[in-house]
Amino acid sequence: MEFKNIQPIHILLLLFLTLVIQTGCKPGDSSDNLTPEVTTEDIDTIPITEVKKEWTAADIQLTENLEYDQYTLEDEYPYKDTVRRFQWEKVKEKIAHLENAMENGGNWGVFSNYKNMNGEAPTIEGFVRNEYKRVSDEYGVERYQSVPLYDVTQTDKMLRYGRDGWLVKIPDSDTTELVRVQGVSFEGEYLVPNRYLKPWGNTIRFTKVVVVDVTNQHVALLEKQGNTWNILSKNPATTGVHKPPYAQETPTGLFAIQQKKEKMYYQQDGSSQIAGYAPYASRFTNGAYIHGVPVQLPRKNIIEYSASLGTTPRSHMCVRNASSHAKLVFERATVKESVVLVID
């Protein structure tokens, strides 16, 4: 073959084709090799949002670790012709609910209207008068010492009353007259006038629970340490009795311990005269306290125990227990760290 008529441009073209053939596809090569190599720097760095697991009763660990060993009851014990028991499964469910509320964070608040100190709530539409001749809503919550709860979409429409001592979350930080709250002690979301709301901030951790059982007439103090709720005491108690016009049942539900009185003086029924005092009183709703055995005047010394404890309801709304146990609750169940769980 003669190349004398080939132009320089043709020679360059031949050299280019030869180079392509030599560096082109080889055995084992594929078009995939043309994809840029992925390095760790190229991986998506957007963090994955972890879904929080909700607490259930099965997650709550209860361990008996008694620190108060007087008048201790068994988990099941005879009473007259029946058997009474500590309802631990029900307690676990309620504590799991509380754990979830704490896990979700946010600002806590407490309804506050002891003795109508923040003003009597308005009369709700469709009210009824109960056996105590007091205005009450459809849920049985009286107007006296309670808080008005309004519709979040219709601010002039009151829907129900909220009990003094109920716990809520406050999703917004505004200081408007009507504050939106989310129930912890109850279901739903409402607006409440801010004068009835005691803000407790976003650092609250409830580590003590006082369990009161109005059916079985006993009380227990629980404290969380690590991941375990220790049962510190299991004792007989006496709760409120339905006896108009003065004595009332202890209401069931979840309440914050709000106030402490080393001596809670009480009046004679239907009179303003002081009749005596109850030692080591911890108030959780309205005029309901957990306290020791009442001391009638003119007696002054503390009474340690009463044979009526652990029998039948007989107080005005309070929870009576041995005075030394009431002292344990008084000292251990501190405000902003403790709740009272009343079950039936």
Q: For 220-276, what is each residue's pLDDT tens digit?
A: 999 999 999 999 999 999 999 999 999 999 999 999 999 999 999 999 999 999 999
Q: For 125-160, what is each residue's pLDDT tens digit?
A: 999 999 999 999 999 999 999 999 999 999 999 999
* Band of residue 45 on the pLDDT scale cut at 50, 70, 90: low
Q: For 55-86, what is each residue's pLDDT tens digit?
A: 999 999 999 999 999 999 999 999 999 999 99
The runs of H, that is alpha helices, within 175-265 are none
Distance CA 161, CA 201 (A): 23
Three-class DSSP category at 178: strand
What integer pLDDT is reported at residue 52 of this predicted model? 74
Share of the chain above pLDDT 70, in %: 85
C-alpha 45, offset from chain centre: 37
Is pLDDT of 103 > 60?
Answer: yes
Contact 288, 214 (CB under 8 A): no
What integer pLDDT is reported at residue 19 of this predicted model? 46
- Smallest CA-to-CA distance from 277 within 291, 264, 262 is with 264
* Band of residue 178 on the pLDDT scale cut at 50, 70, 90: very high
Q: In the chain, what are the domain boundaries?
A: 64-84+205-343, 109-201
Distance CA 314, CA 161 (A): 26
* Band of residue 36 on the pLDDT scale cut at 50, 70, 90: low
Is pLDDT of 12 > 70?
Answer: no
* Band of residue 321 on the pLDDT scale cut at 50, 70, 90: very high
Helical (H) or strand (E) element with 332: helix 323-332
| E strands present in 164-273 | 167-170, 178-183, 189-193, 197-201, 208-213, 218-225, 228-238, 253-256, 259-267
Q: What is the CATH number of domain 64-84+205-343?
A: 2.40.440.10
Q: Which residue has the higher pLDDT, 41 or 238?
A: 238
Q: For 192-213, what is each residue's pLDDT tens digit?
A: 999 999 999 999 999 999 999 9
* Band of residue 17 on the pLDDT scale cut at 50, 70, 90: very low
Distance CA 127, CA 191 (A): 19
In angstroms, the first-to-last Cα distance of the chain is: 110
What integer pLDDT is reported at residue 259 of this predicted model? 98
Mean pLDDT lowest among 31-35, 39-43, 131-135, 174-178: 31-35
Is pLDDT of 42 > 90?
Answer: no
Distance CA 156, CA 216 (A): 42
Average pLDDT of every residue of the chain = 90
What integer pLDDT is reported at residue 334 of this predicted model? 98
* Band of residue 330 on the pLDDT scale cut at 50, 70, 90: very high
The residue written with tokens 């506050």 in the block is: 112
Is pLDDT of 331 > 60?
Answer: yes
Contact 163, 141 (CB under 8 A): yes
